[in-house]
Amino acid sequence: MVSVSVRIAAANGDGIESSGTLLAKAAARKGLHIFGYRGYQSVIRGGHVWFSVRIADEKIYDHGETIDILVALNQDAVDHQASHLSKNAFVIYDSGKIKVDRLEGRGFRLLPIPLLDIAVETSGDPIVRNVVALGAVMKITGIGTDTLHQILKETFGKKGDKIVEQNVKAADRGYGYEGVETAFSLKSDNKKLYVMDGNTALSIGAYSAGCKFYAAYPMTPASSILHWFAAHEDKGVFVKQTEDEIAAINMTIGAASAGVRAMCGTSGGGFSLMVEGLGLAGMIEAPIVVVESQRTGPSTGLPTKTEQGDLLFVMNASQGEFPRIVAAPRDVEECFYVGKQAFNLAEKYQCPVVIMSDLFLSEHIESVESFDIDRVGIDRGKIATAVQDGRFKRYLLTEDGISPRSIPGTAGLEFTAASDEHNEYGDLVSDVLSGIDEHVEMRNKMHSKRMRKLETMLKNESCFVPSVESSSGSHSLVCFGSTTEASREAVKILKSKGIDVGLISFNYLLPLDRKATTDALKGKKLIDVEVNYTSQLAQIIKLCTGIDVDYKINKYDGEAITGEEIARKAEQIIKGVV
């Protein structure tokens, strides 16, 4: 495999995200695999930021640790990124404006290009220096400029032919600049690939599932879901930017109760406000979907950094007991399928479904093939169409715990939905403490009915078991959600060194099939990989199966874990160094 890591670094507001996206799309259009991730601060302008795009001729699972080509657009880029440069790395910088003394004599290939001068000469706009640099990158990587030209035309076409011509000319000047030579040979497998982040894939999945209502108060890293739905509101989706997260979840409950497939989204701080509403959905058995995209905590924490610290909180949020489903997609492609399947599960089992993502999965981009829209069909569960024996029993006591629901407006199927405990009709039975026997009995029956849904889910669904992606070797990595991709990369690295290691990953964490989980984990030395301090997945495994995880790899500095990092630590564990 040939792999090239390109990092564009500058100050916030210098357009590096746009530049990185242009590079990623141009490479993917060529049929190359990409993985991109950005590091940024919570300021509008200024501060050091970067965008990494790793390009390869086969599937890759993270953005990597080292830099093969650095595009340094200011002095901070050189100063902060020097320690990440690979041996013989290329450094593209603006000659006369950036000092690279600290890099000289260290084997790096320094390419001074008058980026700003060329930008002003070709377009009169200093921001076009990014495109000049991209032209040089296309030459070094051997990708060529044909697909970059296409992407530039698509990106700037609405601004007119003149703007397109200026950008194409700038790219060509960078590509042909003296001293810029091809150094890599990336061969395409000619697959049709798309570039997408996790939030976009999840939004498309939800839309294809028939989601007609989305409510949210903006909170990174979930905000781009709101942006996506707002941009597609003309496609039949009602989008509401609410005054707070309490309103968002309650409006979602109202929409779902009205028969609409409905979703809301937030991060950990906003989900804290949604907790009471989550319990309401559990009590009235409203089929809602909630996206909880994690960032570091507690409180505001590091608002632009990633973490997996909310798992136990989400699994136990709100007072009392009620069925819920907690999903944690493992990659961008799975965001689409989980985003679609969540609505089926919510309506089949009439309970809240929480999709847990995090900043890394929500915001990183990767190349994906076309989604199979028909792979997950539409299943709306038990819906009553006619009343038998008089008044409609919305909360009918059933063996599987699932009662037929009605769509409001259906004649004869009216019912009451209240936050208090209730009988089969929805009438309140809140006098339990006063000792009224029939109310005590109804509470027991109704609570048992709701909780029986968990048994029904495990019986009917195949998704609540861990995935054994690799089982060789005496040791297995264990992970959930977004750390799975880096763990896949780690398995590849270790196997290239002759070290066999297994990989067991979870994308649904509640409910969890005890027997299947025990069978998958037993007999292995387990290395838990989590982006948190307390190894929350390991705690769940212990509670569910009684199995203790043998070793733990934790990261909680806000940065995404990489395959190289996991491989280094796992190798030490396997060889008995630690």
Tell me, yes or no, whether 153 lies in a domain: yes
223 and 260 co-located in one domain: yes
Q: What is the pTM of this model?
A: 0.95
Residue 468 is which amino acid? V
Which of 338, 368, 398 is at the close of a domain? Answer: 368
Tell me, yes or no, whether 375 lies in a domain: no
pLDDT at 395: 97
What CATH number did the domain enclosing 560 receive? 3.40.50.920
Which of 333, 368, 403 is at the close of a domain? Answer: 368
447 and 471 co-located in one domain: no
Tell me, yes or no, whether 187 lies in a domain: no
Tell me, yes or no, whether 331 lies in a domain: yes
236 and 130 co-located in one domain: no
> What mean pLDDT, rounded, does the chain reach?
95
Q: How confident is the model at residue 435 (pLDDT cuts 50, 70, 90)?
A: low
pLDDT at 42: 80
At 111-154, the pLDDT tens digits run: 999 999 999 999 999 999 999 999 999 999 999 999 999 999 99
At 386-403, the pLDDT tens digits run: 877 788 999 999 999 999
476 and 441 co-located in one domain: no
What CATH number did the domain enclosing 242 receive? 3.40.50.970
Give how many domains the chain has, as a whole number: 4
Report the pLDDT averaged over residues 259-269. 97
231 and 306 co-located in one domain: yes
Q: How confident is the model at residue 576 (pLDDT cuts 50, 70, 90)?
A: confident
Distances in Å between the alpha carbon of 244 and those of 196, 248, 330, 522?
Answer: 28, 6, 29, 45
pLDDT at 247 over 80: yes
Beta-carbon contacts of 494 under 8 Å, excluding residues fewer than 6 positions away, are 500, 501, 567, 570, 571, 574
Which structure tokens are listed for 333? 């492609």
Look at the block and give the residue holding tokens 């903006």: 218
Report the pLDDT averaged over residues 232-257. 97
**Buried residues in 493-521 as b, exposed as e (16+ CB within 10 A):** bbeeeebebbbbbbbbbbbbbeebbeebb
Strand ranges of the sheet holding 525-530, from the earlier edge strand across to the other edge: 467-470, 502-506, 475-480, 525-530, 551-554
Q: How confident is the model at residue 433 (pLDDT cuts 50, 70, 90)?
A: low
Q: How confident is the model at residue 47 (pLDDT cuts 50, 70, 90)?
A: confident
* Structural domain for 108, as ranges: 3-175
Which structure tokens are listed for 382? 């038990």
Tell me, yes or no, whether 455 lies in a domain: yes
Average the pLDDT over each of 27-31, 138-142, 174-178, 432-436 and give the range with the smallest value.
Answer: 432-436
Report the pLDDT averaged over residues 501-506. 97
355 and 258 co-located in one domain: yes
549 and 430 co-located in one domain: no
What CATH number did the domain enclosing 44 receive? 3.40.920.10
pLDDT at 431: 63
205 and 168 co-located in one domain: no
Which of 320, 338, 368 is at the close of a domain? Answer: 368
Angle between helices 437-460 and 332-349 (to 10 degrees): 140
362 and 499 co-located in one domain: no
495 and 459 co-located in one domain: no
Q: Where are the alpha helices (DSSP H) in 472-578?
A: 483-496, 514-521, 536-545, 563-574
Tell me, yes or no, whether 152 lies in a domain: yes
357 and 265 co-located in one domain: yes
pLDDT at 434 over 70: no
pLDDT at 438: 76
Q: Could you tell me how far CA 78 lies from the centroid of its own chain?
A: 30
With pLDDT > 70 as the criterion, what percentage of the chain qualifies? 98
Tell me, yes or no, whether 117 lies in a domain: yes
Tell me, yes or no, whether 69 lies in a domain: yes
At 279-331, the pLDDT tens digits run: 999 999 999 999 999 999 999 999 999 999 999 999 999 999 999 999 999 99
Q: How confident is the model at residue 436 (pLDDT cuts 50, 70, 90)?
A: low
The phi, psi pair for 328, rounded to 5°, reads: -140, 85
217 and 330 co-located in one domain: yes
